[in-house]
A and B are shown apart, each in its own frame.
Chain A
């Protein structure tokens, strides 16, 4: 079992890279959307929950003040900070903004490393999954090369958790039959009774479909 374990996970870089991109990017975007939705949903809810009617009115008024300014000065550059996503905070008092920004920044820092860890796990997961597909592809490729060179004794042996076992089995069965046929033909070609050998060879070859039959 131990000797069957792969030491290198990047065994077919182009294939695995394509596979990773196909998996990582959608997974990343889905996670990003989910996290952003949760993030803003939670904070909006927090703002609402923490707001009594007076505060809520203040927040609505604050939003309106910003809208007034945006209407009067369209295209005005806004300073970017974590508060930029919550426009109503722009009109809160300085101290209120500082407190809210502190909470936001702490939350963002806490979420940032978790998000980074998630990204690493997704990346590692896709490498792990991709090598189970890339490995068999590599073995098939090598087997075809061997056949091309005339080695009909070649067989494909996949690891237990690799993908493509049925295809490998069919390949091996097909190669075994071909190997037997060619072995028989080779043996007959060595016989001294040439006419009898040729008749036997013709008999064996009659069951084989090739381009010469067209």
Chain B
């Protein structure tokens, strides 16, 4: 299968190397750059304001009564470190918040074999809503912790972050299979769902294989399916939902530009997926007022009928006229010009309804005159990290790619790493 994929995608990979624009190929105007900086800075406030001061846990959503999300907490750890490095938070404040959170995660948070429950009580760290000990959400909090560790080498932050990572028994979560299970509950034990096909799983599998203590076997990387799809000439290894976030989450931390998965370049893949997603929504522009050249982004978000895995093609392509601004913004490393124009469009046209203290709210739907009143933690997180990579010299990628675990994953899986990064050319 991989050989067949290699035949198809090798030319794409080669062209990606030869012709891929660096993140600087498009230079936003001073006003646009100022806007993007403002969005990143405001988005950071979600984590500052909606994380519990005593425990550090970050709310899943700004909605009253929302529990903490362990994935959002992971993004908060990254956000504080970024906030300090940018001068938006004082060193004392950022470090104490990170330490509080890591101590809580290390010592007082409910977990099973190192896997944290998806949703936690804000004040106690106990499991709530019957949620599962979640592999992907644990990966996201570990990624945030490890990134924070890279910002503060030689400190307690680094020590705690690595202890949390090293406690995770990735092999246990495979439940004897070739794939990592999505989760485990005390009531039903292992969920009947596995990370067996392309989506946001790459960060999870990378951390699992790179683990110094309970690593997943190398073959875990090769086993998951890489379904090929095509929309409007955009060839994509696609996620079943077609949701844009599935092409973004792993890329917040891992710089895939120089990695070659037997001919597949996942950075280029996400760029194509973004273009396909945008063109898919544009093909319905005559039916839905929200869709236009600069108003795009079909991704899992809240909508008029609740939270749904909206997406484009290739994939399920579920849509109802709801646009998630975070989705367009978080593709900024893949499609800088289009994402910047989208950010400008959303801000200039819908600021009153869509922009608040924490940046862009989650989604809107013009046909139904519906505007989300809330922000979602993980959507805020991906926005912040992608903007940071784009605006601040790819700092997140650079720090994360230096982690021994990531180097080990690259080494073991044979993902070829080119000597010079595309952006440095």
Taking Cβ atoms with an 8 Å cutoff, the residues of A that contact B are: 53-54, 57-58, 60-65, 67-68, 71-74, 76, 91
Among residues of B, the one whose C-beta sits closest to the C-beta of A94 is B130
Cross-chain contact B64 with A65 (CB below 8 angstroms): no
B19 contacts chain A at the CB level, 8 A cutoff: no
B308 contacts chain A at the CB level, 8 A cutoff: yes
* 10 pairs from A and B in contact (CB 8 Å cutoff): A57-B64, A61-B65, A61-B66, A61-B129, A64-B63, A67-B306, A71-B307, A74-B241, A74-B316, A76-B193
Cross-chain contact B309 with A64 (CB below 8 angstroms): no
Determine how close the nearest CB of chain A comes to the CB of B339; give it in whole angstroms. 23
B300 contacts chain A at the CB level, 8 A cutoff: yes
Instruction: Classify the interface of chain A: helix, strand, loop or mixed.
Output: helix
Known A64-B66, A74-B240; 5 more pairs at CB < 8 Å = A58-B65, A61-B66, A63-B306, A64-B63, A71-B308
Cross-chain contact A74 with B309 (CB below 8 angstroms): yes
Tell me which residues across on chain A come within 8 A of B191, comparing CB atoms: 73
Among residues of B, the one whose C-beta sits closest to the C-beta of A87 is B306
Instruction: Classify the interface of chain B: helix, strand, loop or mixed.
Output: loop
Give the interface size bracket for B toward A: 20 to 34
B295 contacts chain A at the CB level, 8 A cutoff: no
Tell me which residues across on chain A come within 8 A of B316, comparing CB atoms: 74
B220 contacts chain A at the CB level, 8 A cutoff: no
B114-162 interface (Cβ within 8 A of A): 119, 129-131
Determine how close the nearest CB of chain A comes to the CB of B192; give it in whole angstroms. 8
Determine how close the nearest CB of chain A comes to the CB of B165; give it in whole angstroms. 23
Of the candidates B131, B193, B240, B300, the one whose C-beta lies within 8 Å of that of A65 is B131
Tell me which residues across on chain B come within 8 A of A57, comparing CB atoms: 63-65
Cross-chain contact A64 with B306 (CB below 8 angstroms): yes
B381 contacts chain A at the CB level, 8 A cutoff: no
Tell me which residues across on chain A come within 8 A of B241, comparing CB atoms: 71, 74
Cross-chain contact A67 with B193 (CB below 8 angstroms): no
Determine how close the nearest CB of chain B comes to the CB of A124; give it in whole angstroms. 42
- A186–B119 Cα gap in the complex (Å)? 102
Among residues of A, the one whose C-beta sits closest to the C-beta of B316 is A74
Q: Which 6 A-B pairs have the closest CB atoms?
A: A57-B65, A67-B307, A71-B309, A67-B306, A65-B129, A91-B129
Most buried by A among B130, B131, B193: B130
Among residues of A, the one whose C-beta sits closest to the C-beta of B306 is A67
- A175–B56 Cα gap in the complex (Å)? 99
- A184–B419 Cα gap in the complex (Å)? 123
Tell me which residues across on chain B come within 8 A of A53, comparing CB atoms: 64
Binary interface profile of B, 90-120, with partner A (CB < 8 Å = 1, else 0)? 0000000000000000000000000000010
B81 contacts chain A at the CB level, 8 A cutoff: no
Determine how close the nearest CB of chain A comes to the CB of B102; give it in whole angstroms. 25
B61 contacts chain A at the CB level, 8 A cutoff: yes
- A91–B309 Cα gap in the complex (Å)? 20
B67 contacts chain A at the CB level, 8 A cutoff: yes
Tell me which residues across on chain B come within 8 A of A72, comparing CB atoms: 182, 193, 309
Cross-chain contact A60 with B63 (CB below 8 angstroms): yes
